[in-house]
Amino acid sequence: MTGTLSIASWNINSVRARLDIVERFLTEESPDILCLQETKVVNEIFPTDMFRRLGYVHQVLNGQRMHHGVAIMSRVPMHEDDRLDWQANGEARHVGVRLENGVRIENVYVPAGGDVPDRAVNPKFGQKLDFLERMIRWSADLADQPTILTGDFNIAPLECDVWSHKQLLDVVSHTPVECEILARLQASNDWVDIGRHFHPAPARLYTWWSYRAKDWAASDRGRRLDHMWTTKDVAAKAVGHRVVEPARDWGKPSDHIPLITEFAF
């Protein structure tokens, strides 16, 4: 594989409900590879035909009825797909592939963690932390594999990754315990945060806005929950990274927007 390769990631919040905006994104932005999270559909009825029509003939699916679900749609060949159960209960939250140049892509949907940041009263929060602990063990054992880790991490780690650090300290996705565990995940294999590599803190770089806001753009209470990390060797090949903020206004939008990284392999 030579030349540039663009890889996009998007929590679509039901791919069938938002197929029109996925098609618009693929038509307008034309990434080589699209990693989707929260597809909310079993593999058997995933809308594969639209992707094939646009050239995304290589497809690796890990679906689940009504909940979760991840997929990688590609114009370039992919091999050796994995589906790791970091949730330890069979939920479809990961799919991984290897490209022909040897680079792995790991597409992950980390649990949101419920509303209360206390595992004693909210088991979902404990499940989120345990999920990340399993990811840390996996990451520490990766050795020298060139890897891209992307998806909805459901954590905004830096103070500038949320609209108000002070007001969100006790809100799931930006609590100190979550930020600390994500920092340990990043340190476990020296991952490069590509978003902040190209848009250093404190630059504004949100990927999610709540549906609860009447005018998301005016209030701009965003969080950076979606990420693309790479091992250092792959980071050296990255030539650009951006988020597609207008997509938050398309049709019936997801509450997340796509992010795209260009690599010169």
Which among 128, 129, 76, 64 is positioned nearest to 105, based on CA atoms? 76
Residue 127 to residue 110: CA distance in whole angstroms: 10
Token couple for 150: 């992307």
The letter for the amino acid at 58 is H
The angle that helices 123-140 and 176-188 make with each other, rounded to 10 degrees, is 20
Confidence at residue 19, expressed as pLDDT on a 0 to 100 scale: 98
Distances (CA, A) of 15 to 70, 82, 223: 10, 21, 22
Confidence at residue 2, expressed as pLDDT on a 0 to 100 scale: 54
Question: What homologous superfamily does CATH list for 4-264?
Answer: Endonuclease/exonuclease/phosphatase (3.60.10.10)
pTM, full prediction: 0.97
Instruction: Find all residues with CB under 8 Å of 134, minimum gap 6, and list them.
Output: 86, 88
Confidence at residue 1, expressed as pLDDT on a 0 to 100 scale: 47
Token couple for 51: 């992707």
pLDDT along the chain (265 residues), means of 10: 86 98 98 98 97 98 94 96 94 97 97 97 98 98 94 98 98 98 98 98 98 94 98 98 98 97 97
> What are phi and psi for residue 56, nearest 5 degrees?
-90, 75
